[in-house]
A and B are shown apart, each in its own frame.
Chain A
Amino acid sequence: KAGVTQTPRYLIKTRGQQVTLSCSPISGHRSVSWYQQTPGQGLQFLFEYFSETQRNKGNFPGRFSGRQFSNSRSEMNVSTLELGDSALYLCASSSGDGNTEAFFGQGTRLTVV
């Protein structure tokens, strides 16, 4: 059974640009959540998608958005990049049906210069 796949693994962008990150969850999982990890802040929840609908959202500005497709794959978009957006972005896959563990991908390391 394949794990959670995130692409790309590494990305360098310039301030003001926009970026799209991709996540393919474990087969059969309908929930995809996105997290941002920065030094000192730990993992911060961005949003969760379940069956193509955003079900929950964290405290991030509107520049951060996402979507989920019918095959449960999800994309996260960040517009007008700022230096502070440099982080490891992690995607987590779960069944979404209750208290079950979430499985993480390896993450996308975004560097904004």
Chain B
Amino acid sequence: DQQVKQNSPSLSVQEGRISILNCDYTNSMFDYFLWYKKYPAEGPTFLISISSIKDKNEDGRFTVFLNKSAKHLSLHIVPSQPGDSAVYFCAASAFWSGANNLFFGTGTRLTVIP
């Protein structure tokens, strides 16, 4: 039962353009959302997060948008750089329920073409 879904396994974008990675979730109890970037044979690296009380959070080139009514979040990377090429995972948690675990999507492989 995949509670967090990333329906696009891959995405290719030209350098300098915007990359938009999407994520959907089914559990309305999730109240905290995160994006991680992962290179092969390494652990995920935290990128940016957003609380359910917000609808946008920005950090440099990375912006995360949350649409609670649609149970949808997205990560925008502007401008995209070749070094951004990696697998991106979205994750969600419901800490208020007493659980501190993250539910991950299956990832989207981003390729930024120079």
Contact = CB atoms under 8 A, between A and B. Distances in A.
Given A99-B51, A103-B46, A45 B101 contact: yes
Interface string B9-40: 00000000000000000000001101010000
Interface string B37-66: 000011111100101000000000000000
Interface residues of B, number: 26
The A interface is mostly helix, strand or loop, or mixed, namely: strand
Interface in B40-97: 41-46, 49, 51, 89, 91, 93, 95
A84 interface: no
Contacts of A41: 106
Contacts of A92: 102
> Contact size class for A?
20 to 34
B106 A40 contact: yes
Interface string A85-96: 000101110101
B49 A4 contact: no
Interface in A79-113: 88, 90-92, 94, 96, 98-99, 101-107, 109
B43 A104 contact: yes
Query: Which 4 interchain pairs have the tightest Cβ spacing?
Result: A104-B43, A99-B32, A42-B106, A43-B104
Interface of B: 31-32, 34, 36, 41-46, 49, 51, 89, 91, 93, 95, 98-107
Given A104-B44, A106-B41, 10 more contacts: A4-B43, A6-B43, A33-B101, A35-B102, A42-B107, A90-B44, A99-B95, A102-B34, A102-B102, A107-B42
Interface of A: 4, 6, 31, 33, 35, 40-45, 48, 50, 55-56, 58, 88, 90-92, 94, 96, 98-99, 101-107, 109
25 contacts: A31-B100, A33-B100, A33-B101, A35-B102, A40-B106, A42-B106, A43-B91, A43-B104, A44-B104, A45-B101, A50-B100, A55-B99, A56-B98, A90-B44, A92-B102, A99-B31, A99-B49, A101-B34, A101-B46, A102-B34, A102-B102, A104-B44, A104-B46, A106-B42, A107-B42
